[in-house]
Chains A and B, each alone.
Chain A
Amino acid sequence: MSHLLDIQDLHLAFKGLKGVTEVLHGVDLNIAAGERVALVGESGSGKSVTARIVLGLLQETRNARVSGRVAFDGVDITAMPLRDRARLRGTEMSMIFQDPTSSLNPTFTIGNQFAEVMRRRDPGLDQTACNVRAIEMLAEVSIPEPARVLANYPFQLSGGMNQRVMIAMALVNNPKLLLADEPGTALDVSVQAQTLRLMHDLVEKHHTAVLFISHNLGVVREFADRVYVIYRGRIVETGPTDAIFHNPGHAYTRALMDAVPRITGAGLPEVPEVSDDFLAPMVRHEGGAS
């Protein structure tokens, strides 16, 4: 079964004044077309840099040493020249980020930023054609008065609105893969719930695959088909969402599950912050595409 995204044995190290720091130690991850996959971990686990490597952003950093294979739609993109790699961004694969207001350029209108994204796929597009398509997308993300919003600047819109604008811009070119780095974390809980529901419906409608990066287990449970749990640069558990949540096998996953407070009031259990058990080998659950 061929995957849309296939990461094999990904290693990442940073060279600094004091020597080399290893961040990723052989990560394997794959996503099928239209599948929603979550990468769950705490800060420093390597989840964000993995996404950046898929996009090809990290390779341009001077001190980063990347090795391993990343295949997208059957093609080995690690072997691709940087220029072709860059062409994939915004068109075949796109990304949305944690803080919507600061991820949008404050000095350009929403309409201008949409046009910039659309011209990546079709450089000849004029502003009017861009606006028409942008209004369509903004309506899809349930933004009221889309024509007026196009003329606005990001600071004039709320966080929730900006997040939807970012989702709309990410999906306007119909990418095959959407990477989402902690989306909605900066939003209120009710707005976050709305936004995630919206994302869910949209990616289902457009058959977009999603790599969803998060530390929030509740959100992952509601959104993802399959889950990879990452700890200190290693995948420690993977499998379908239900399997992992019902039956977490790895000590780290179990610790994460125990640590999340429940609205049923189960109390605050004693959870280790660090443990040698967290370095145990990977647990894999069968089932689901993988």
Chain B
Amino acid sequence: MTLLTVENLTKTFHTTNGPVHAVRDVSFEVERGECLAVVGESGSGKTTLANMILGILGSTSGEIRFDGAALPAKRTATHRRAIQFVQQNPLSSLNPKRSIGASVRLGLDTYGIGIRADRWRKVEDALEEVGLSRDMRHRAPSALSGGQRQRVGIARALACEPELVVLDEPTSALDVLVQARVLRLLNDLRARKQLTYVFITHDLAVVRNVADRVAVFKSGQLIELGRTEQIFSAPEHPYTRNLIGAVPVVDYAELQLRNKLAEET
């Protein structure tokens, strides 16, 4: 069942150096409950695409439909609540002068979720769900590690009970061990709360292990879209093949896969 439809979406920026075609005529669908990875290097348009889905940017042309209905440029509170955002940078995404509880609570207050007296409890519930202790809601972001801050960002998104979560490089700024745990957390939460993810990243190894389907972007265009296993075992587009081939690998099995893909070029 389709949750999000992107149809002929285009975004052109007009700069002093001429027009920049950040996203060109992109169309795809996101099924309810799946994790769709959006993969690309810098300049691929993946961040611009995410910003348009989130309503931060308007499109130049094309349409985005959510649950069947077109999403207007000016979003309603219902839409905003249903589509939440997890950012890349855990340090910058939390207000250093506010407690993390206050940051998580913002969505609840803005959307009027529950009665006011109940909201701190909901905040604490959200923190507990991402593996943090309830009393952490009083702490300042500076007292938390990068991994903990990123969990707070996830709690903030999930506290509003959204349907779709856009995650922009959610683990790229984290250490290896921390990343592993946060990725597992994201997988668990998606299954448990029946969420849908649009997972933007440049890290193909992560994609291979979290995504159901992969959309590969280059220079604003969608060049390949398919199921994860398919894309990694038999990529069609040479760009995709090169991208997979450039990933530094750790074990022998990966090396074999990479060599196999290189031979088929």
Q: Which residues of A contact B (CB under 8 A)?
A: 42-43, 159, 188-193, 196, 215-219, 221-222, 245, 255-273
Interface pairs (7), CB distance under 8 Å: A261-B203, A262-B249, A264-B257, A265-B209, A268-B183, A272-B177, A273-B147
Chain B residues within an 8 Å CB radius of A255: 177
Chain B residues numbered 35-83 whose CB sits less than 8 Å from any CB in chain A? 41-42
**What residues on A are CB-neighbors of B254 within 8 Å?**
262-264
Residues of A within 8 A of B210 (CB): 268
In Å, the complex CA distance between A46 and B253 comes to: 32
Main secondary structure of the interface of B (DSSP, over half): helix
In the bound complex, how far is the Cα of B210 from the Cα of A94, in angstroms?
40
Interface pair B251/A189, CB less than 8 Å apart: no
Cβ of A232 to closest chain B Cβ, rounded Å: 12
Whole-angstrom distance between the Cβ of B43 and the nearest chain A Cβ: 9
Query: Could you tell me which B residues sit within 8 Å of A by CB distance?
Result: 41-42, 146-147, 175-181, 183-184, 187, 202-206, 208-210, 228-229, 232, 242-244, 246-251, 253-254, 257-258
Q: Is the CB–CB distance between A216 and B248 below 8 Å?
A: yes
When chains A and B are docked, how far (Å) is the Cα of A260 from the Cα of B178? 11
A215 to B250, CA, bound (A): 12
10 additional contacts (CB under 8 A) given A188-B202, A218-B247, A268-B187: A190-B246, A217-B248, A259-B177, A261-B205, A262-B251, A263-B204, A263-B232, A263-B254, A265-B209, A272-B177
> In the complex, what distance in Å separates the CA atom of A288 from the CA atom of B101?
52
- Given contacts A264-B253, A265-B208, A266-B209, whether A189 and B180 have CB atoms under 8 Å apart is no
A268 near B176: Cβ-Cβ < 8 Å: no
- CB <8 Å contact, A190 and B205: no
B243 touches A189 (CB 8 A): yes
A-chain residues with CB within 8 Å of residue B257 when the two chains form the complex? 263-264
State the CA gap A142–B131 with chains docked (Å): 48
Nearest CB of chain B from residue A191's CB, rounded to whole Å: 8
Q: Which of B42, B180, B247 has the most CB of A within 10 A?
A: B180
Identity of the chain A residue whose Cβ is nearest the Cβ of B179 in the assembled complex: A259
A265: chain B residues at CB < 8 Å are 208-209, 228-229, 232
Indicate if the CB atoms of B209 and A267 lie closer than 8 Å: yes
Task: Determine the chain A residues whose CB is within 8 A of the CB of B179 once the complex forms.
Answer: 259
Residues of chain A lying within 8 A (CB to CB) of residue B242? 190
Closest B residue by C-beta to A189: B246
What CA separation (Å) do A193 and B243 show in the bound complex? 10
Bound-complex Cα distance A190 to B244 (A): 9
Complexed CA–CA distance, A270 and B257 (Å): 24
Instruction: Name A189's contact: one of B208, B209, B247 (CB within 8 Å).
Output: B247
The 7 A-B pairs of least Cβ separation, nearest first, read A218-B248, A259-B180, A42-B175, A188-B41, A261-B205, A193-B246, A190-B246
